[in-house]
């Protein structure tokens, strides 16, 4: 098990249109970050930070989050439902934190993670000889 810290970045600038109206929107990122934090505390998780961020450059897929950790792949995930998926995000973060390299097996990924991954970036120490799925 890795002891490296994990960070969940949560975009607090994402605009979620209300009733499909682009000029009328909410910004649910702060609420999402607080809900993730509450789920992590409820689960007794440690070593996982929830950190608000201004923009992750995926503004068309609100809400956007990222999972990052030392020596792990970083995952950028969009289209997160702030009202219903905080618990699943907290669960993924715990799996991410305890994984060797940040890669979570496909069958263990909740739907938001399967459908929402926009990209992943290897750790700085990555070399092509390492196995990634």
Minimum distance between the CB of residue 88 and ligand FES, rounded to whole angstroms?
A: 19
Nearer to ligand FES, 11 or 92 (CB): 11
d(CA 76, CA 65): 6
Contact 85, 79 (CB under 8 A): no
When the beta carbons of 11 and 97 are compared against ligand FES, the nearer one is 11
C-alpha to C-alpha distance for 85 and 67, rounded to whole angstroms: 15
In sequence order, the β-bridge partners of residue 17 are 25
Cα 1 to Cα 23: distance, rounded to the nearest angstrom:
46
Q: Which residues bind ligand FES (CB under 6 A)?
A: 11, 13-14, 55-59, 64
Q: How many CB atoms lie within 10 A of CB 95?
A: 18
Q: At 21, is the secondary structure helix, strand, or coil?
A: strand
Among residues 1 and 57, whose Cβ is nearest to ligand FES?
57
Shortest Å distance, C-beta 57 to ligand FES:
6
CB of 60 to ligand FES, least distance (A): 8
Q: What's the closest the beta carbon of residue 20 comes to ligand FES, in angstroms?
A: 18
Tokens of 127: 């070399």
Q: Looking at beta carbons only, is 62 or 102 nearer to ligand FES?
A: 62
């Amino acid at each position: 098990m890795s002891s490296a810290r994990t960070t969940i970045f949560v975009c607090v600038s994402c605009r979620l249109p209300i009733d499909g109206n682009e000029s009328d929107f909410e910004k649910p990122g702060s609420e999402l970050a607080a809900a993730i934090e509450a789920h992590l505390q409820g689960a007794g998780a440690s070593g996982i930070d929830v950190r608000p961020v201004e923009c992750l450059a995926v503004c068309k897929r609100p809400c956007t989050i990222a999972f990052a950790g030392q020596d792990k792949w970083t995952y950028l995930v969009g289209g997160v439902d702030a009202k219903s998926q905080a618990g699943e995000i907290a669960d993924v973060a715990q799996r991410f934190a305890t994984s060797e390299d940040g890669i979570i097996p496909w069958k263990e990924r909740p739907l938001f993670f399967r459908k929402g991954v926009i990209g992943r970036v290897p750790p700085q120490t990555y070399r092509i000889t390492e196995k990634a799925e």
